[in-house]
């Protein structure tokens, strides 16, 4: 039976970067292009159609239609407009219509910043470098972004006024659950074939970057996405001796609570778990209540720091390892490393 291969796409961040490139081509080469090529942050070459590019009164504006491939993304088909103005000596990002601003602490950007994440910003900087441009004002708009944002967690997380411009690399990979899970397992087989019996499980790029900094071999680093339990079972079936869970506190604290599918729509007890372990370490009730009212685990971490209670992270790491080992009936030895968005190690049980 033939397999159906799901189509990939590109993120809103990649759309914005492609718009910047189309606009710069018009400025410097006086050409209107129907397609541009950009290199995603993971090295993937993306060829992105340009719906429109034109000079306006104070700059150049390009329109890119978001394409999500076979990923069920709410922004698929949305127009992403990028307006650029060459000025100054640095790149300044602005949120246009339908793009939100950060209103709460605990995210990757400061309060008041346009909700244009670090990945898209870096993509745009690299595009500007291709043209030798240092000073650039970049304004990103998604006309129906305000309505689309109501279907996301943005209002809860503290992104108000529209969508976030997102993307860790620029590549949008299909998220059909069974297909995606099955595509993850061969990583284990390759690592085993290369002689690795200790694997580093990372749910995303943050954990991967930390694992690399700690000196773990790239071939031993395994992406799990949200399917930590599924991947632990796959490792146990393949007689892997040891797994180190390495990732953001917001993901791995769920494992400490016995949650092994970590997507927020499946289960989310991050703050409750944080509060329980902090209370067990003696945090007074008024501070525990602050954790329960926090926006994110990063926000809660500030409360931990203010109270000098960093030892709680080691306990959470130990519990995550214990629950993971129990999940696979002791077939694998598990250790845990907890990190924050900035890549700092909060605690471990190594």
176-205 average pLDDT score: 83
184-198 average pLDDT score: 88
Q: Read off the pLDDT band of 343 (50, 70, 90).
A: confident
> Mind listing the pLDDT tens digit for each residue in 240-269?
999 999 999 999 999 999 999 998 778 889
Higher per-residue confidence, 171 vs 346: 346
Q: State how far the Cα of 200 lies from the Cα of 242, in Å rounded to an integer.
A: 9
Q: Read off the pLDDT band of 1 (50, 70, 90).
A: very low
- Helix or strand run (H / E) with residue 177: helix 177-184
Q: For residue 151, count other CB atoms closer than 10 A to its CB.
A: 10
- Does this model's pTM top 0.85? My answer is no
Q: Read off the pLDDT band of 325 (50, 70, 90).
A: very high
pLDDT at 342: 85
| CA distance readout (Å), 208 to 8, 52, 205, 338 | 22, 37, 5, 12
Residue 48 has pLDDT above 70, yes or no: yes
Q: State how far the Cα of 314 lies from the Cα of 46, in Å rounded to an integer.
A: 41
* Residue spans per domain, the chain: 9-172, 177-348
Q: State how far the Cα of 170 lies from the Cα of 173, in Å rounded to an integer.
A: 10
Q: State how far the Cα of 36 lies from the Cα of 160, in Å rounded to an integer.
A: 31
The CATH class given to the 9-172 domain equals alpha beta
| CA distance readout (Å), 78 to 67, 68, 248, 313 | 8, 10, 30, 41
CA torsion, points 272, 264, 160, 109, in degrees to nearest 10? 80
Q: What is the mean pLDDT of the chain?
A: 90
């Amino acid at each position: 039976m033939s397999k159906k291969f799901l189509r990939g796409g590109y993120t809103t961040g990649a759309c914005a970067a492609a718009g910047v490139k189309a606009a710069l081509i018009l400025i410097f080469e006086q050409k209107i292009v129907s397609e541009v090529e950009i290199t995603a942050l993971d090295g993937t070459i993306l060829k992105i159609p340009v719906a429109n590019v034109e000079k306006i009164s104070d700059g150049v504006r390009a329109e890119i239609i978001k394409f999500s491939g076979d990923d069920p993304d709410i922004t698929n088909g949305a127009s992403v407009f990028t307006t650029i103005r060459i000025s100054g000596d640095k790149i300044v990002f602005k949120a246009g219509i339908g793009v939100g601003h950060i209103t709460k602490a605990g995210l990757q950007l400061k309060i008041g910043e346009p909700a244009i994440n670090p990945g898209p910003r870096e993509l745009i900087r690299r595009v500007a470098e291709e043209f030798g441009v240092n000073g650039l004002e970049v304004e990103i708009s998604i006309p129906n972004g305000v309505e689309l944002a109501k279907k996301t967690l943005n209002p809860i997380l503290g992104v108000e006024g529209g969508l976030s411009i997102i993307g860790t690399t620029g590549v949008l990979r299909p998220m059909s659950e069974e297909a995606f899970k099955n595509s993850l397992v061969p990583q284990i087989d390759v690592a085993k074939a290369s002689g690795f019996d200790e694997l580093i499980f990372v749910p995303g790029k943050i954990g991967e970057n930390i694992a690399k900094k700690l000196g773990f071999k790239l071939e031993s680093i395994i992406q799990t996405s949200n399917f930590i339990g599924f991947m632990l079972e796959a490792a146990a079936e393949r007689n892997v001796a040891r797994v180190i869970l390495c990732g953001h506190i917001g993901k791995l604290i769920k494992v400490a609570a016995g949650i092994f599918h970590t997507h927020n729509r499946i289960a989310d007890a991050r703050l409750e778990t944080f509060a329980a372990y902090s209370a067990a370490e003696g945090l007074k009730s008024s501070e525990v209540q602050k954790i329960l009212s926090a926006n994110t685990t990063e926000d809660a971490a500030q409360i931990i720091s203010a109270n000098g209670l960093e030892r709680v992270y080691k306990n959470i790491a130990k519990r995550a390892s214990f629950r993971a080992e129990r999940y696979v009936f002791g077939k694998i030895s598990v250790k845990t490393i907890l990190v924050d968005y900035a890549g700092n190690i909060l605690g471990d049980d190594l």
